[in-house]
Structure 1
Amino acid sequence: MDYQEKLLHIIIGLAFMLCWPMFSDGWRGSVLASSVIGINGVKVLLIGLQLLKDEATVKSMSRFGDHRELLKGPLYYAATITFACAVYWKNSPIAIAAICNLCAGDGVADIFGRRYGGRRHPYNTNKTVAGSISMAIAGFLASIGFMLYFSSFGYIIASWKMVWGFLVVTLASTLVESHPLSTDIDDNLTVPLASFLVGSLVL
């Protein structure tokens, strides 16, 4: 993926979350909103399984032009946002943490890691220290921004406790993203899983 595609990785999820106040507060709004990304997720799944032909999508969402790549990162990305929206919705800081660390954190980490490179982690030479630092900063600041945004609508109550919770979740997600396991599996899966799990404990 090039920088333009990584920017889309950052923007799509965050822009979608900005639109959540347009939907009703109850489960109907949650289902309707989650279907927006969910339908695209189904399309990605069908293309990845070659049940649907769309070479343009394969080219834009894969590194090597292989349709099977869509069954990992792109599918995990869509599934995470759909799950966060359908299950946690806009009155839960866990949804904020998961989406912000996936979109802002992981997206910025890849861009800064490639652009500035430099020192690499001794336990995973595929990941850079610059990328991890930028991920932690971006994921945390995005989480705080959406905390204030949703708080202005009365969906959640902003607090210093929540701020510390976001910090813990972001640091945990950053550590997981830098782990070799994330390289072997896919950080579009491991990062949100870490956010959901740790978030359920501290948020």
Structure 2
Amino acid sequence: MPKAVIMHLASGAATTAALSFTHPPFSLLRRRVRLRPRLHKSPLSPTPVWATPLFHCSPSVPRHLLLAPYDLSSAAAGGGISAELLQDAGATALVMAGAYSLVSAFDNLTQNNLIEQSLSRKLVHILSGLLFVASWPIFSTSIEARYFASLVPLVNCLRLVIHGLSLATDEGLIKSVTREGKPEELLRGPLYYVLILISCALLFWRESPIGVISLAMMCGGDGVADIMGRRFGSLKLPYNQKKSWAGSISMFVFGFLVSIGMLYYFSALGYFQMDLVWTVERVALVSLVATVVESLPITGVVDDNISVPLASMVTAFLSFG
């Protein structure tokens, strides 16, 4: 074969090889873009969402310039509202609406003379605190959750201060939560009550049995003791003629039962573990101490809404650690 022909064929083969290296055949391109789909999770769906990545036709395009599937979770973390914030805000609005509806319902019952003022006051005392504690699990696991929950009694605290100072008038509120129907009474027992709710939520929250027991004794124990004492309290205590055996026994029994029930409720939801025998013994001790403190003739010095939960806190702290 002539030398010129050999050189021509050699140069053609080199050119073809170079073109094949820089521009691969279409069959190779098809093989290259058959990538495994990349799995990413969407915050809008609990199940994984399959997204096929965009492919490129030239190996010369830098990898960082290629388009990628849009990640909604990173966008929410970068500038959106977090799911915990939305959950806590919604839970706060729900609990606040429930608390307002509860007090308004008893206001109407009292104004229409369908229920006695003293009974209405104590039912609000019992139900509002226990329902507030029972609502804690609907808040998120964030650190700020307890502060959102505390907004509910804080709003009621401001409401009591405004009406207690006669800056505004609400006869239904005064009749439903006071003994004698005087606005200044709102600044004593009812105000101490909501301050204890705020303190237990901020200091103990739902991971500690101390706050749960303290509120159960103040709401369930002390509240039922007053109702039972008024109905069946003819036999008075020897050291306090304003308290009765029926009221003190009811205080111990119902404070104990409500505390155990609330502890079981939070334990079932996984906030803490509860050994039944060990817990019963310590809750019984807390109930006994709270009952003795409630029966003492010190109401004129220290309100029951302060003495009972504080005694319960100290005893529960020493018992549970």
Instruction: Report the TM-score range of the alignment, normalised by the length of the smaller protein.
Output: over 0.9
- Distance in 1 (alpha carbons) for counterparts of 2:249 and 2:154: 31
Structure 1 residue runs of 5 or longer lacking an equivalent are none
Letter in 1 for 2:285: V
TM-score (ref. length: structure 2)? 0.61
> What is the aligned partner in structure 1 of residue 298 from structure 2?
181
CA contact (8 A) 1:97 1:170 kept: no
Query: 274, 287, 292: which is aligned to 1:170?
Result: 287
Following superposition, the deviation at residue 181 of structure 1 comes to 0.8
Is 1:120 aligned to 2:236, yes or no? yes
Instruction: State the alpha-carbon separation in 2 of the partners of residues 137 and 178 from structure 1.
Output: 14
- Report runs of 4+ in structure 1 exceeding 4 Å deviation: none
CA distance in 2, matches of 1:4, 1:55: 14
Tell me which residue corresponds to 1:101. Answer: 217
Report deviation, 1:22.
0.1
Amino acid across the alignment from 2:309: P
Q: Following superposition of structure 1 onto structure 2, how do residues 62-101 of structure 1 map, counting pairs within 5 Å?
A: 62-101=178-217
Aligned-residue sequence identity (percent) comes to 42
Q: Distance in 1 between matches of 2:238 and 2:300?
A: 14
Deviation, 1:183, is 4.7
Q: Is the 8 A contact 1:176 1:182 kept in 2?
A: no
Quick check: 1:193 aligned with 2:307? no
Higher relative contact order (CA 8 A, sep 6+): 1
Contact 1:47 1:54 in 2 (8 A): yes
Greater Cα shift, 103-112 or 34-43: 34-43
Could you tell me whether the CA contact under 8 Å between 2:124 and 2:177 is conserved in 1? no
3-state SS, counterpart of residue 144 of structure 2: helix
Q: Cα deviation per residue 1:7-65 (whole Å; 9 max; x = unaligned)?
A: 12111111111111100234311111111112111211222122333232222221212
**AA of the residue aligned to 1:47:** H
Q: 2:145 aligns with which of 29, 54, 57?
A: 29
- Mapped to 2, the partners of 1:19 and 1:34 lie a distance apart of 11
SS in 1 for 2:242: strand
What's the offset of the Cα at 1:156? 1.2
For 1:44, give the aligned amino acid.
L
Which letter does structure 2 place at the counterpart of 1:43? R
Q: 1: distance between equivalents of 2:149 and 2:135?
A: 9
- Corresponding pairs, count: 203
Q: CA RMSD in A?
A: 1.4
TM-score w.r.t. structure 1 length?
A: 0.94
Q: Is the 8 A contact 2:120 2:177 kept in 1?
A: no
State the SS of the aligned residue for 1:182.
Answer: coil
Cα distance in 2 for partners of 1:7, 1:150 equals 23
